[in-house]
Amino acid sequence: MVGPPGSGKTMLARRLPTIMPALTVDEAIAVTRVHSVAGLLPSHVPLVDRRPFRAPHHSTSVAGLVGGGSSPRPGEVSLAHLGVLFLDEFPEFRLSALEALRQPLEDGEVTISRALTSVTYPARITLVAAMNPCPCGFRGDRERQCTCPGYRLQQYRSRLSGPLLDRIDLRLEVARVPPREHRLAGRGESSAAVRERVEGARRRQRARLGGEVTANAHMTAPQVRRLCRLDTAATALLDRAYDRLHLSARACDRVAKVAQTIADLEAAAGIAAVHVAEALSYRVERGQG
Q: How many residues bind Zn ion (CB under 5 A)?
A: 5
Stretch of 8-16, 126-134, 162-170, 185-193 contacting Zn ion, by CB under 5 A? 126-134
Minimum distance from CB of 220 to Zn ion (Å)?
41
Nearer to Zn ion, 130 or 134 (CB): 134
Minimum distance from CB of 1 to Zn ion (Å)?
17
Nearer to Zn ion, 14 or 159 (CB): 159
Backbone φ, ψ for residue 250 (5° rounding): -65, -45
Characterise 84 by phi-psi region: left (phi > 0), alpha (psi -120 to 50), beta (else).
beta
Contact between 2 and Zn ion by CB under 5 A: the answer reads: no
Nearer to Zn ion, 97 or 134 (CB): 134
Nearer to Zn ion, 69 or 149 (CB): 149
Binding mask 127-156 toward Zn ion (x if CB under 5 A, else -) reads -------x-x--x------x-x--------
Cα torsion 237, 249, 160, 62 to 10°: value is 140
Minimum distance from CB of 137 to Zn ion (Å)?
6
Minimum distance from CB of 176 to Zn ion (Å)?
13
Nearer to Zn ion, 152 or 240 (CB): 152
285-288 long-range Cβ contacts below 8 angstroms, 24+ apart = 285/171, 286/173, 288/245
Minimum distance from CB of 5 to Zn ion (Å)?
11
List the beta bridge partners of residue 111: 120
Please list every residue from 156 through 185 that binds Zn ion, using CB under 5 A: none
User: Do 49 and 23 contact (CB within 8 A), yes or no?
Assistant: yes
Q: Which residues contact 87 (CB under 8 A, 6 or more apart)?
A: 55, 56, 58, 93, 127, 128, 129, 130
Minimum distance from CB of 252 to Zn ion (Å)?
33
Minimum distance from CB of 152 to Zn ion (Å)?
8
Nearer to Zn ion, 92 or 99 (CB): 92
d(CA 246, CA 88): 28
3-state secondary structure 60-111: CCHHHHHCECCCCECCHHHHCCCCEEEECCHHHCCHHHHHHCHHHHHHCEEE
Nearer to Zn ion, 150 or 186 (CB): 150
Tally Cβ neighbours within 10 Å of residue 39.
8
Binding site for Zn ion (CB under 5 A): 134, 136, 139, 146, 148
